[in-house]
Amino acid sequence: MGTVGRDLYKTNFEETQLFLATIVIATKNRKEMLRAAIESSLAQKGDIEVVVMDDGSTDGSLEVVRSEFPSVGVQRSEESQGYILQRNRGVELARSNLVVMIDDDCTFEHPETIQQAVEDAMPELVGAVAIPFVNIRRGPEMRKRAPSDEGVFVTSSFIGCSHLVKRDIFLRLGGYWPPLRHYWEEADYCYRLLAAGYITRLGRSLPITHHYTDLARGTRRQRYFAARNTCMFAWHNVPWPYFPLHLMGVTLREVRAAMRFGFPGATASGVLHGWLDGLRERAGCKPPPSKVYRLFRRIKASDPANLEAFLAELDGIRRSAGTERL
């Protein structure tokens, strides 16, 4: 693994006070999109750090960052290791406690977005912020935005292309779960975040633009990991007595998804590996208490959910987790 630009090594606590926020961009072989993502990141107001995690690109992405953006930190893996590991490492290297992660095919259209996202992260009980975004190829609809600027609204999960995490909490919880490798890491993290007594807040900022999306959700790889990881989520997180019913429910859901999107072989393989890999992982983990699962399900069912409706339950979880009371 090589480092280019400023030195990117372990960050201590004092260094996390140096910037308003750090933007982490995981990338692989999208140098033109990466260029636009960096340019829009550097145009954000405030003292912003930008870190690029190059997942083994072979298209000259590294040279683009090095020659055109000398103020941007970049770390390159010689071999691809996946964006989950790259994002985890990006958070470790960040010199701000507030870390915004975007995909390399995203751009900031408004220079105030980061400042507004930082404001949304200020309440102590907020562990992550779902930053609003627009999937431009799907239309103008804004996703993951709070329905009102008044109050605090909770969501069950953010979308990986546009979110903010608090570095200290993220590292304490172990970051994204590496065995997932690809897909569904957001829901898994938000669930563990809730178990620690923190919420994922729907943001109120001006949106990020996501320029590319898999419109059909129709690649073999996507279907494989969707099936595998929804099953692994159940093995990793769902307590008794809810576990058997939840696992059977997501398994049947993936069968229906295969009928809708195609690739039944990839889906069947994903379900099989999700059961086998999940069984191995469950042996070494302890799912959160049932009250966490019930609250997560309630939030998901009413998403977007007003925080006021869940304060009593959240306060009980925070006491059990040893987190300061609300």
The predicted model scores a pTM of 0.93
pLDDT tens digits for 96-151?
Answer: 999 999 999 999 999 999 999 999 999 999 999 999 999 998 889 999 999 999 99
The predicted structure's pLDDT at residue 261: 87
The predicted structure's pLDDT at residue 284: 80
Q: Which residue has the tokens 């990141």?
A: 41
pLDDT tens digits for 59-77?
Answer: 999 999 999 999 999 999 9
**For residue 237, what pLDDT band results from cuts at 50, 70 and 90?**
very high
pLDDT for residue 12 is more than 80: no
The predicted structure's pLDDT at residue 15: 62
Distances (CA, A) of 82 to 56, 60, 174: 9, 18, 17
Q: Stretch 247-256: mean pLDDT, rounded?
A: 96
Q: Stretch 29-47: mean pLDDT, rounded?
A: 97
Distances (CA, A) of 102 to 25, 184, 257: 6, 16, 27
pLDDT tens digits for 43-60?
Answer: 999 999 999 999 999 999
pLDDT for residue 82 is more than 90: yes
**For residue 214, what pLDDT band results from cuts at 50, 70 and 90?**
low
Cα angle for residues 235, 311, 148 (degrees, 5° grid): 100
Cα angle for residues 89, 200, 243 (degrees, 5° grid): 90
- When mean pLDDT is compared across 24-33, 34-43, 163-172, 282-291, the lowest value belongs to 282-291
Nearest to 102 by CA among 221, 9, 223, 207: 207
CA distance linking residue 34 with residue 57, whole number of Å: 11
Task: Give the domains, in start order, of the chain with CATH numbers.
Answer: 2-210 (3.90.550.10), 220-282 (no CATH)
The predicted structure's pLDDT at residue 134: 97
Question: What is the C-alpha end-to-end distance of the chain, expressed in Å?
Answer: 43
Nearest to 205 by CA among 155, 142, 160: 142
Q: Stretch 1-22: mean pLDDT, rounded?
A: 58
Q: Stretch 266-279: mean pLDDT, rounded?
A: 97
Q: Stretch 4-28: mean pLDDT, rounded?
A: 70
**For the stretch 3-21, what's the b/e string if a residue is b when 16 or more beta carbons lie within 10 angstroms of its beta carbon?**
ebbeebeebeeeebeebeb
Q: Stretch 296-305: mean pLDDT, rounded?
A: 95
- Helix (H) and strand (E) counts for the chain? 11, 14
Find out whether 250 and 188 touch, Cβ atoms under 8 Å.
Answer: no
